[in-house]
Amino acid sequence: MQRTLPGLLAFMVACASSSSTTETSTTTAVAATASGSIEGVYDYVANLPGQQVRGQMRVTGDTVIVEPMADYCRPTVGVPDPLAFHYSCNGPGSFESIQLRIDRRNPAQLSKWSARYRVQRQREVCVRYETRGGQQVCVQTQRETYETIESRSGTLQVRRVQ
């Protein structure tokens, strides 16, 4: 067992680093259970809060090529997932990032998206204190705007076009 562990780790690293990235498309080739029936070209839409992210993907054997209409996607590096291809995409507008999980067995029905985005919130903060009766009390507040990160996820709308 100790002799096979280094060989297994080297194989996993080789698989994880065997991806090629371009501005318009991203390809990943890892072991897949994709059958000929799911091979083809698909349009996808992620319905994010306030906007849609669209693109196209090509499924061929053990490869998925993701071509977003805008921005940029790359395969997520890590241990290969036998059930899905994972991509990380630049987020448009206030979105930090978008993750695509493309199901290997049924990309049209089981694929998902998740996104992190910036949201502006407001809160009341004390800007002036006074000591009254030996205790410090707030005597003046003002509204402050701050930014926080929220997450959302949903089903990736996928439609076969070829």
Each residue's pLDDT tens digit, 75-96:
998 888 889 999 998 877 778 8
Span 97-142, pLDDT tens digits? 899 999 988 999 999 999 998 889 999 999 999 999 999 999 999 9
Which element (helix H / strand E) includes 15? helix 4-16
Other CB atoms within a 10 A radius of the CB of residue 74 amount to 17
Distance CA 57, CA 27 (A): 10
- Whether the model clears a pTM of 0.85, i.e. scores above it, the answer is no
Amino acid at residue number 105: R
Three-state SS at 41: strand
Average pLDDT over residues 3-8: 39
Distance CA 32, CA 59 (A): 11
- Locate the domains of the chain by residue range: 19-120+150-160
Q: What is the pLDDT of residue 43?
A: 95
Q: What is the pLDDT of residue 60?
A: 86
119, two tokens: 């949201």
- Phi/psi at 16 (5° precision): -65, -30
